[in-house]
Amino acid sequence: MPELLCQSPFHPICSQKREGPQCPPVGYLNLLNSTPDPGWLSIHEQPGTLQKEGTNSYLCTLWPRPCDHRLGFPNMNALSLRQLNKTYSGGVTALHDVDLEVTPGDFFGLLGPNGAGKTTIIGIVASLVRATSGSVKIFGHDIVTEPWEAKSNLGLVPQEFNFNQFETVSQIVLNQAGYYGIDRRTAHERAEYYLRELDLWGKRNASSRSLSGGMKRRLMIARALVHEPRLLILDEPTAGVDIELRRSMWDFLRQMNERGTTIILTTHYLEEAESLCRNIGIIDGGRIIENTDMRSLLAKLKSQSFVLDISSAVGDLPNITDFYVVPIDEQTIEVEVRGDQTLSDLFKQLNAAGVEVTSMKNKANRLEELFVRMLGDRDNPPAKAV
Amino acid sequence: MAALYPAYPKQTLIALRTLVWKETHRYLRIWVQTLVPPAITMTLYFIIFGSLIGSRVGVMDGYSFMEFIAPGIIMMSVITNSYTNVVSSFFGAKFQRHVEELLVSPTPNYVILAGYVAGGVGRGLFTGLIVTIIASFFADLEIHNIPVTISVVFLTAVLFSLGGFINGVFAKKFDDIAIVPTFILTPLTYLGGVFYSISMLPDFWQGLSMANPILYMVNAFRYGILGSSDIPIMTAYTLVIGFIIAGTALSLHLLKRGTGLRS
């Protein structure tokens, strides 16, 4: 057993009595003369990870049982909206009797066109918008009657940058921790942890206005996480972010969700929602028009369109029975596959005709296709039989 | 009483300390904008009104003109800086939307108010101290009554910080935070007996001056330093404390309603 010195004040974590929502403690292990024993953490009966940071330094992240969000409040909804209504002073009704429940540990996507009411819902949950009527509970705590308990469980990453442009990155995160009553020492540790996780540690002393757009987005995530909320709401977190950063943010959010943080995501990138979310709510015109799990939702897609690049010329293409085929150019076709058909059927027919498919892709993301159709049905309802 | 969060006193105190430090750090960080200008302006007041003109004015209420105006000028800087600090900081937070950090957090409304007021009081008193040091180069100031001096300057800073907060809540554009200081605060301060004793005014103007609340604060502070006042001290205390209670109640009501903050 190597001699390990954990510089974290949380070490040994089991002896620490902690108040309020728990947190992932993090510390640095200075290693003397040996590599760390991977079993060290389990010897101490603590789940966690060891990550090499330098020659003799390891980043030690411990996840003590009381701090594990996965074990908290199993029978309580992470978010519960009841008969929520909002009419703005100008007379515009943004929400109509919205009922919504998000279970703990869920990765929930709230989708809808611009002006549907997504941001109003988030605003009400975050106490930035006053509800006309109805109730909001976060992990069973009403935001009006138990604001401290409710708000301590909530982290918000808003759509627009809303931090002080004149403060440094670390000041912003530390101040936010202070507003949640987190003592300075813990705040420093958490700030370091999340700024490192989000690759902002090198910018900790930089003025926030000097950050790039992607860094600003990550700063808002770090700020929202510093008080270790059980429920994290992200309002279009990847808007205007390049694909590489977007994917790294997806990975980070997946990790947070795997650790038990309930996540509610709004986005206009529907492949993002399809990739991340387990359950989806679709809001339109201030009403929840769909609220189900991703699999059931995608099962509603009656057909999908695929774009196929083929080796032979389109003009030589034999008749493909049962499939609706539209030529796009000389060697590209679009094929519609209904819910009762399979891609195997299509390929069998193409193979039998001697047509080689060189590549294939969805014409549109499945969720996007469904979303567009659902909203299209709203705008063009089927004619009533006379 | 749910609104006071009695179950979380430690967390509430940390939130207050964070906000007070943030506000203090703000005006110290931009000290060239916040602390230097009043020092220069008040030095000019002392040179022009105190030395150059004051030497021809002679004695006022038994004191040299320089001694007479020093408390008023100190008070003027406290009033202006307390007010300006809170109104600009709070409106700036609204304008940049980082006030949402506070609104989303569990920080109680009274802590938000106390934090901003503490920032205003801090800057007001800091500026008052700087101006007092400058005044000591021009006049021989001996404090007549320390408790009165300290309590009056503190209560005045609290009152005008509250005023700045209310102005900040209602302000929708930068013009709105300049209107009150320019068109109300400055005239009332100049007419509040900073440069003269109201005993010099005709009866009508004396009566009108009595409706100016700043007159009471300036005179109470002057009493603390010189031992001379145009008004009864208890009247000044009653007025200032009454305004503070009303201002606090209004501010908390506005925060609870979310006026200018929540849609």
Min Cα–Cα distance to chain A from B129, Å:
27
Contacts of B2 in chain A (CB under 8 A): 145-147
Q: Is the Cβ pair B263, A123 closer than 8 Å?
A: yes
Q: What is the pLDDT of residue A383?
A: 47
Over residues A40-69, the mean pLDDT reads 50
Does residue B234 belong to the interface with chain A, where contact is any CB pair within 8 Å? Answer: no
**Is residue B111 predicted with pLDDT exceeding 80?**
yes
Tell me the sheet residues that pair with A318: none
Residue A241 confidence (pLDDT) above 60? yes
Q: How confident is the model at residue A42 (pLDDT cuts 50, 70, 90)?
A: very low
The alpha carbon torsion through B193, B196, B198, B201 (nearest 10 deg) reads: -130
The per-residue pLDDT for B261 is: 86
pLDDT band at A385 (very low <50, low <70, confident <90, very high): very low
Region B233-257: mean pLDDT is 95
CB neighbours (10 Å) of residue B260?
Answer: 18
Q: Taking CA atoms, what residue in B is nearest to A150?
A: B106
Distance CA A162, CA B103 (A): 12
Average confidence score pLDDT of chain A: 77
Q: How confident is the model at residue A316 (pLDDT cuts 50, 70, 90)?
A: low
**CA-angle at B225, arms to B223 and B227, nearest 5°:** 40
As a whole number, mean pLDDT of residues A294-308 equals 76
Give, in degrees to the nearest 5, the angle at Cα A80 between A74 and A84.
Answer: 175
Higher pLDDT, B129 or A330: B129
CA–CA dist B48, B65 (Å, integer): 12
The band of A79, judged by pLDDT with boundaries at 50, 70 and 90, is very high
Threshold 0.90, pTM exceeds: no
Counting residues of chain A whose pLDDT is more than 90, the rounded percentage is: 28
State residue B52's pLDDT score: 78
Q: How many CB pairs under 8 A join A and B?
A: 94
Provide the pLDDT for residue A87. 93
**Residue A31: predicted pLDDT:** 41
Please compute the mean of the pLDDT values over residues A147-164 and round it to a whole number. 90
Q: In the prediction, which pLDDT does B3 show?
A: 46
- Which one of B11, B25, B105 makes the best mutation probe of the A interface by having the most chain A beta carbons within 10 Å? B105
Which residue among A128, A176, A182 sits closest to B103, beta carbon to beta carbon? Answer: A128
Q: Please tell me the predicted confidence (pLDDT) of residue B210.
A: 86
- Does the beta-carbon distance from A127 to B262 stay under 8 Å? yes
Residues of B in contact with A146 (CB under 8 A): 2
Q: Is the pLDDT of residue A66 over 90?
A: no
Higher per-residue pLDDT: B173 or A311: B173
pLDDT value, residue A219: 94
Any CB–CB contact under 8 A between A156 and chain B? Answer: yes
Picking from B12, B96, B104, the nearest residue to A164 by CB comes out as: B96
Which segment, A284-288, A292-296, A352-356, is predicted with the most confidence on average? A284-288
Per the model's pLDDT, the better-predicted residue between A232 and A341 turns out to be: A232
Residue A314's pLDDT is what? 66
Mean pLDDT on A142-147: 90
| Predicted local distance difference test score (pLDDT) of residue A6 | 39
Whether A20 contacts A66, CB under 8 Å: no
Provide, as residue numbers in chain B, all residues whose Cβ is less than 8 Å from the Cβ of A180: 11, 15, 105-106
The ipTM, to two decimals, is 0.88
pLDDT of residue A50: 60
Residue A314 or residue A124, greater confidence: A124
pLDDT score at B114: 96
Dihedral sign for Cα B246, B167, A121, A234, please. Answer: negative
Q: Is pLDDT at A13 greater than 60 in this prediction?
A: no
For residue B123, give the nearest of B182, B167, B164 by alpha carbon: B164
B15: contact with A, CB 8 A cutoff: yes
B64-79 pLDDT, tens digit per residue, is 888 888 899 999 999 9
**Which residue, B29, B106, B80, is CA-closest to A149?**
B106
Task: Inspect the interface and report whether the beta carbons of A163 and B98 lie closer than 8 Å.
Answer: yes
Residue type, B31: W
Residues of chain A contacting residue B18, judged by C-beta atoms under 8 Å apart: 174-175, 177-179
When CB atoms are compared, the residue of B12, B29, B97 closest to A162 is B97
- pLDDT for A39 beyond 60: no
pLDDT in tens, B54-63: 777 777 777 8
Q: Residue B104 is nearest to which of A127, A145, A146, comparing CB atoms? A: A127
- The distance of A46 to chain B (nearest Cα, Å) reads 28
Cβ–Cβ contact B9 with A under 8 A: no
Report pLDDT digits (tens) over B13-39: 999 999 999 999 999 999 998 899 988
pLDDT top residue among A211 and A271? A211
Confidence of residue A377 (pLDDT cuts 50, 70, 90): low
Q: Which residues of B touch A128 (CB under 8 A)?
A: 100, 103-104, 262-263
The closest alpha carbon to A156, from A78, A218, A224, belongs to A224
Q: List the structure tokens of A37.
A: 């024993």
Question: How far is the alpha carbon of A182 from chain B, nearest alpha carbon, in Å?
Answer: 7
Q: Which long-range contacts (CB under 8 A, 24 or more apart) does B139-145 make?
A: B139/B46, B139/B50, B139/B64, B139/B66, B139/B67, B139/B70, B140/B67, B141/B67, B141/B70, B141/B225, B142/B225, B143/B224, B143/B225, B144/B223, B144/B224, B144/B225, B144/B226, B144/B227, B145/B223, B145/B224, B145/B227
For B96, other C-beta atoms within 10 Å of its C-beta total 15
Among chain B residues, the shortest Cα distance to A171 is held by B22
Closest CB from B8, B14, B108 relative to A183: B14
| B259 inside 8 A of chain A by CB | no
**What does the block give as tokens for A141?**
């705590």
Q: What is the pLDDT of residue A48?
A: 56
Residue A49 has pLDDT above 80, yes or no: no
Residues from chain B that touch A151, judged by Cβ atoms under 8 A, are 104-106
Interface test mutation site (partner A, options B18, B26, B256, max chain A beta carbons within 10 A): B18
Q: Does A152 touch chain B (CB under 8 A)?
A: yes
B11 interfacial to chain A (CB closer than 8 Å): yes
pLDDT of residue B9: 83
Mean pLDDT of A114-129: 92
Is cis: bond before A12, omega within 30 of 0? yes
Q: What pLDDT, on the 0 to 100 scale, is given for residue B80?
A: 92
Least confident residue range of A63-67, A100-104, B9-13, B247-251: A63-67
Check whether B128 has a pLDDT greater than 80: yes
Mean pLDDT, residues A185-203 taken together: 89
In chain A, which residues have their Cβ closer than 8 Å to the Cβ of B96? 162-165
Assess A128–B contact: CB distance below 8 Å, yes or no.
yes
Of residues A28 and B155, which shows the higher confidence score? B155
Q: What is the pLDDT of residue B163?
A: 95
Lowest mean pLDDT: which of A244-248, A274-278, A300-304?
A300-304
What does pLDDT average to over chain B? 89
C-beta separation of A206 from A212 below 8 A:
no
Supply the pLDDT for residue A379: 59
Chain center to CA of A231: 11
* The dihedral sign for the CA sequence A312, A315, A319, A325: positive
What is the C-alpha to C-alpha distance for residues A116 and A108, in angstroms, rounded to an integer? 17
Q: Tell me the per-residue pLDDT of B152-207, one tens digit each, with 9 for 90 and over.
A: 999 999 999 999 999 999 999 998 998 888 898 888 888 888 888 888 888 888 88
